[in-house]
Structure 1
Amino acid sequence: MNRNGAFSKAFNILFCAFMLAPIVVVLGVSFTPEGFLEFPPSGISLRWYEAILDNPDFIQAAWISLQLAFAAATVATLLAIPAALAIGQSRFRGRDALQAIFLSPLMVPTVVLGIAFLRFLSLFGLNGTFAGLTACHAIIITPFILRLVLAAVTGLDMSAARAAESLGAGRWTVFRRITLPAILPGVVGGWVLAFITSFDELTVTVFIVNPSTTTLPVRMFSHITQTTDPLVASVSSVTVIFSLALMILVDRLYGLDRLLIGEGKKA
């Protein structure tokens, strides 16, 4: 059995500490009773969590972000599933080009995407609309779903599907009863990852929102440009806990190892 050496363990501990340190600081600041950023906090108070409930702008923005993330993740999933099935199960001219097109949002700087989306939506009068935001977010997050669904599709045993077709089952029946259950862990994992990515997206969104469709990240960014109270820290803590809860739920249902690196959960 391979064992990590002392240097490797120390490096891993330091790396994890480096990644978690900003989250720990934000969580600590959110509990301060003072009206300014303070870490470590001089006391423990829920003052700034109660302030969230007294701020309708943040609540409205959070509701818009939830709706937008749900809609965008669902649209992206509906696009990614047939694309992944075609790319993963077929060999055709332009297959690599098709995959590159779907993954291209990962290779374009988000600022460039934001400016391009702003120009494109303005041509059709969709800038700042919920439909326009959904379309842009769906484009941004589709690669995340596609990668996980492709991982589930690759190497998928199609013998059961072919047997069902030979017995007279239609393509929709085969997909619904055989193919979809087999790739469901990848679909669910991709949807959750896309949902979290859309919910937290700022750089592109700030170009294409208007006051009636302001999302939570944009509202937080606008707030910190005007003041430096710990309210943003408490809102950030809630979003971190919410995202963590989603990941834990997926891990309990399917296992993150199975989704991300193709390993089943240990018994």
Structure 2
Amino acid sequence: MGEIQRETSIAKAAGRPKSPGRSLERRSFELVFGGLGAIAALQLISPTVIVLITSFTSAYSLKFPPPGYSTRWYEALWSNSPEILEAFALSFQVAALACCISVAAAVPAALSLARRRESWARVLESAFLSPLMLPSLALGLALLMLFNQAGIGLSFWTLVIGHIAITAPYIVRTTIASLVQIDPALHESAGSLGASQRYMFFTVTLPLIARGVVAGTFIAFMNSFDNVAVSLFLSDARSEMLPIRMWHIIEDNLDVRAAAVSGVLIAVTLVLMVVMERMTGISRHFR
């Protein structure tokens, strides 16, 4: 009898309507934090929207709101901007080369550190990820001082080395995140069947971590392509990266082509982000 009465009282309590005070508290919490989130999102999105709108201006300088709208500055990028196209090609070349070298170095490093629990492994992992903790200006200045102390002049290769320093940590991070999700039994089963370490890597490990490597490479490439600080410190007089070129044309005469370049980069980045998220699930590697 007692058990039946307890179940009845629990059922009545479950069906009892919520108190007005608790409902009001929940609604006020959602309202406050939802409002703060909306303000933060608006603050982050507004500069991008302003740049996109300004890139379609018909004026000869950067003004917002635009006095009129035209695609003339996008057309000027392809027909009358050889210096911008050269800077774009150099930025793409440096970012692609830095990412290729970073993949070759970061994947073996991640394989060595992913499942180790020793203190030296954590120290090395922190060392690999340390460039992410430094401001870009500090990292660029430190690399410049290092090259000067070593007697190495600035060149295309010093620029590539600097970009390796800012791209490798992203690939290490996403590769480690992918490796820790692999069931160790898969490697044990392959080893018990006589598979060599090299065979296990190419047939078991690499297919399972490929998405993480690709996701990290994509993020690293975009960070390298758009980097200003490291490129500013480590490029020579003949190597002008696209962000540096955009900075100069804005500083000199507020050239609207800089907004047009930004519009192209924003559109390409959004498309690539959607494609990469569908293909590799980038967001999963940072949870």
TM-score w.r.t. the length of structure 1 is 0.90
The correspondence of residues 237-256 of structure 1 with structure 2, limited to 5 A, is: 237-256=263-282
Distance of 2:177 and 2:46 partners within structure 1: 32
SS of 1:41 mapped into structure 2: coil
Match of 1:41 in 2: 66
Structure 1 residues 247 and 169: CA distance shift in structure 2, 3 A: same
Q: What count of residue pairs does the alignment treat as equivalent?
A: 259
**Counting helix residues as a fraction of each chain, which structure ranks higher?**
2
1:116 to 117, 132, 142: 142
Matched, 1:128 2:182: no
- Match status 1:150 vs 2:176: yes
- Cα offsets for 1:132-186 (capped at 9, x unmatched): 2111111112222222112111242121222112222221111111111111221
Where structure 1 has 5 or more consecutive residues not aligned to the other structure, the ranges are 262-267
Structure-2 separation of matches of 1:184 and 1:126: 37
1:22 pairs, out of 34, 39, 47, with: 47
Within a 5 Å distance, the mapping from 1:65-76 to structure 2 comes to 65-76=91-102
* 2:255 corresponds to 1:229: yes
The range that moved more, 55-64 or 10-19, is 10-19
Bigger shift: residues 170-179 or 150-159: 150-159
Q: Which structure has the larger Rg? A: 2
| TM score, norm. by length of structure 2 | 0.84
Give the structure 2 partner of residue 264 of structure 1: none
> What percent of counterpart residues are identical?
34
Q: CA RMSD in A?
A: 1.9
Residue in structure 2 matched with residue 265 of structure 1 by the alignment: none
Q: Is the 8 A contact 1:33 1:43 kept in 2?
A: yes
- 8 Å Cα contact 2:249/2:255 also seen in 1: no
Per-residue CA distance 1:26-81 (angstroms, 9 max, x = gap): 00110000102122223221111112121111000001111111111121122221
Q: Counterpart of 1:48 in structure 2: which amino acid?
A: W
Please give the secondary structure, in 1, of the residue aligned with 2:272: helix
> 2 CA distance for matches of 1:114 and 1:28?
33
